[in-house]
Amino acid sequence: MNTGWEEKCLWLAEHFHQLSKEQQHTIIYDLEQDHAELLNLWTVQDELLSSLKDVLKCDHPLSFTNATEPSEGIGYYQLEMYNKATEKLAEEVAAGCQKTRLLLYLGFASIYEDKDQQAKDAFLTVFQQTNDLVEKHFSLCGLGLLEGRKENIEEAIPYFEKALTVTNNDDVVYNLGTCYYWLGKFDVAAQLFRTLAETTTDPEAYYWLGKSCLEQNDIHSAYEAWYRALEERIDFDVVMSVACEFEERGEFVCALHCYQRLIESGCNNEAVLHGTAWNLGLLDRRDESRHLFKELTAKNPDNVNVWISYLWLLTKWGFIEEQESVAAFLERKNVTHPLLEKIVYSKNK
């Protein structure tokens, strides 16, 4: 996946001058979309890594058969001093005490330090030598995580699936669902997220369930899942993501409901108020939208994204005098952005 993206970039650089403006913009947009998908995938993998780290250093339903003996290397790991942890853990492993437990820590510390081969060797040794089911489970998770971080999704899946045969772990089910999603196997992904949502009522599970259903053109189930995400405990990032999903599909009433749920829960930061004002405007509730935009721009005059939304709506509504006043103010304050210029240009054209 990443190789293809780099090849596209190189090709564009070599042929840029031969392309029309429209072709240039189209290819750049496609590259940005591909890059966004990669970032989403890496975020998912990092979330699993973080969750596994928490399990290893805290009390958790998944617990080792034998307690972990204190060690200097584990201490560095818990302090997130991963470079020192890898060095000390390697020394402690050589001493022969609680070898597989220390190797497990060494594997995850090595991931943080981008020492993939060292991590892989540690996880394979743990898997082959341990009698502790939880150690075996996490060694398989670590191997899957290594493949996932290299974007070898098809190679990561068997490790995660085998880990679940050793012991159940909701974080692994979640990660497995995202793997199938990125492979385009949306029916399998939906089933995994549906199972997870039923057992954990996790807002993120409902969010990905909705996306998986949407990819199968099951709009009713997708929207139902997203509304369930709003009913469970409010997760700011999930609700914001659901709001964006609704907005992209032109469901502005639904998007506005998401922002209102955040406000009701006490989340009324700039991003939430901006989304509220924007969707009010898209619903043609002009007075409410303008009032909120005026408050936002007064409190945050340097937020160019708010100005773009406000100016676009004023132009759409035909409020020429107010649009010209805003444009003049931005010019005086030297607030610039290509989209601002494009909006003003399209109005004057």
Q: What is the pLDDT of residue 1?
A: 37
d(CA 239, CA 96): 49
Q: What is the pLDDT of residue 202?
A: 84
- Identify the CA nearest to 103 among candidates 83, 115, 116, 121: 121
Q: What is the pLDDT of residue 30?
A: 62
DSSP character string of 6-48: HHHHHHHHHHGGGS-HHHHHHHHHHHHHHHHHHHHHHHHHHHH
- Tens-of-pLDDT digits for all 349 residues of the chain? 344 545 555 565 566 566 666 665 566 556 555 545 544 555 555 666 666 566 665 555 667 878 888 888 888 888 888 899 999 999 999 987 889 999 999 999 999 898 999 999 999 999 999 999 999 999 999 999 999 888 888 999 999 999 999 988 888 898 899 899 989 999 999 999 999 998 888 898 999 999 999 999 999 999 999 999 998 778 898 999 999 999 989 999 999 999 999 999 998 899 999 999 999 999 999 999 999 999 999 998 888 889 999 999 998 999 989 988 988 888 888 887 777 777 765 555 4
d(CA 225, CA 135): 34
Contact predicate 238/210, CB 8 Å = no
330 is written with which tokens? 């931005």
Q: Is the pTM of this model over 0.95?
A: no
Contact predicate 199/170, CB 8 Å = yes
Contact predicate 214/185, CB 8 Å = no
CB-based contacts of 305: which residues, under 8 Å, 6+ apart?
A: 274
d(CA 127, CA 144): 13
Helix, strand or coil, per DSSP, at residue 184: coil
- Identify the CA nearest to 163 among candidates 145, 181, 195, 136: 136
